[in-house]
Chains A and B, each alone.
Chain A
């Protein structure tokens, strides 16, 4: 199975900060990668699909980039509602695999 390695595992930041989360695949996955946000007790929410496509309704401060093995999720200016845990997931081949998550906390 393809392994997805996210970094950092946790991050403290302030409102207004620019934040970058990275995800590395153990083999090339083209651009078959999604990013999800999850808040406690809730299902994950799709932010980005196909590495760089913003899901409808998601604020434009979220962006994704990358292809092959290295990907990034960027939040350009953190808002209070963005403090959550973020996951990447490869949908290149089965079994799909998630990264271990990045918990974004308020500094």
Chain B
């Protein structure tokens, strides 16, 4: 059974940093791209970033502040978030694959507030 479990969310002050983790199981992790999608309260989903092979891509809204990475030995994908802003407040989901996401985690809430 495919499982994705995010962690690392919480309350952080503007300008602060957080690292999200997504632990995967139930599939051959190193064979798949992994994606982060976020959803601010009351809004639709927003694609954030993908790591595919050795390539990474980012939404313009997070480029230069967020970094996606993965550790295939731990079946985990990360999202390092720096210089956080109030508008980064959202539930962050990881999803399996580069598109057509058939498996998602439960999400982890990031709140940026003073």
Q: If the complex has contacts A94-B50, A98-B44, are A43 and B99 also in contact, measured as CB distance less than 8 A? A: no
The answer to whether B44 and A99 touch across the interface, beta carbons within 8 angstroms, is: yes
Chain A residues with Cβ below 8 Å from B101 are: 34, 44, 46
Measured CB to CB, the closest approach of chain B to A69, in angstroms, equals 18
Q: How far is the CA of A89 from the CA of B9 in the complex (A)?
A: 25
Candidates A50, A55, A87, A95; contact of B44 at CB < 8 Å: A87
The answer to whether B47 and A50 touch across the interface, beta carbons within 8 angstroms, is: no
Chain B residues with Cβ below 8 Å from A99 are: 44
Candidates B47, B93, B106; contact of A96 at CB < 8 Å: B47
CB of A100 closer than 8 Å to a CB of B:
yes
Measured CB to CB, the closest approach of chain B to A85, in angstroms, equals 8
Q: How far is the CA of A46 from the CA of B103 in the complex (A)?
A: 8
The answer to whether A49 and B100 touch across the interface, beta carbons within 8 angstroms, is: yes
The answer to whether A43 and B107 touch across the interface, beta carbons within 8 angstroms, is: yes
The binding surface of chain A is classed by DSSP as loop
Measured CB to CB, the closest approach of chain B to A94, in angstroms, equals 4
Chain B residues with Cβ below 8 Å from A100 are: 44
Measured CB to CB, the closest approach of chain A to B93, in angstroms, equals 5
Near B by CB (< 8 A), chain A positions 43-62 give 43-44, 46, 49-50, 55-56
Chain B positions within 8 Å of A, measured between CB atoms, are 37, 44-47, 50, 57-60, 93, 95, 98-102, 104-107
- Ordered by A's residue number, 25 sampled pairs between the chains whose C-beta atoms are within 8 Å are A32-B99, A34-B101, A38-B45, A43-B93, A43-B95, A43-B106, A43-B107, A44-B45, A44-B104, A46-B100, A46-B101, A46-B102, A50-B100, A55-B102, A85-B44, A87-B45, A89-B45, A91-B99, A91-B100, A95-B58, A95-B60, A96-B47, A98-B44, A100-B44, A101-B44
